[in-house]
Amino acid sequence: MLYNLIAKLDKKLNFPVVKAHCDIPCKIYDPISAQIAALTMIRLVDLLNELKAKPSLTLDEQAQFLRLVNQKEQHGLKVKEEITIIWGDYIKTPQLTQYPELHDLVHGIMLASSQVKQYISREAALTLLQQVNRFAEIFWATKKVTTFTAVCPYPPAETLVYPKLQA
């Protein structure tokens, strides 16, 4: 019932902006922030696994442990935030028509971020990075910018999708 009302309102209002490629202000979108956050989660999991390898933890190491878990939490929120900004502000009908997988991919990134926040699992963190990389790949394609993959120049030395830039 309510939904019908929305449908009617949509017809009546017929916002042209919702279908446009770009709102003013045309924000500068770049998936690199989400990619770095996902990368950082892998790195934090690696450091947490170093602590897990020890037979027991001193109080100082426990303090370090909780700082790492807190940072993992923060970067999980950052992945979610950066991806939903691009999805909710930039992705519109044309991009969705071209890449119908986008809704599922973004939703999957939300769930995967929660996973990496809740567990100390390198595989979960790697899966998240790959989903974020896939998002970057699509994003640049919708901008008609070619991409390539390269190992990032810092630990944990994982592969990222980068835009090919004109020197």
Q: In the window 78-137, what residues touch its own copies (CB under 8 A)?
A: 80, 84, 87-89, 91-92, 103-104, 107, 110-115, 117-120, 123-124, 126-127, 130-131, 133-134, 137
**DSSP secondary structure letter of residue 159:** E
Query: What residues have CB less than 8 Å from 19, skipping those under 6 apart?
Result: 92, 93, 94
Does 167 bind its own copies (CB under 8 A)? Our answer is: yes
**Closest approach of its own copies to the CB of residue 86, in Å:** 10
Query: What residues have CB less than 8 Å from 31, skipping those under 6 apart?
Result: 82, 83, 86, 132, 135, 136, 139, 140
Residue from 11, 55, 97, 165 that binds its own copies (CB under 8 A)?
Answer: 165
Say if CB 29 and CB 89 are below 8 A apart. Answer: yes
Residue from 21, 66, 94, 98 that binds its own copies (CB under 8 A)?
Answer: 66
Distance CA 40, CA 38 (A): 5
Q: What track of x and - describes contact with its own copies for positions 12 through 51 (by CB under 8 A)? A: -x-x-xx----xxxxxxxx-xx--x--xx--xx--xx--x
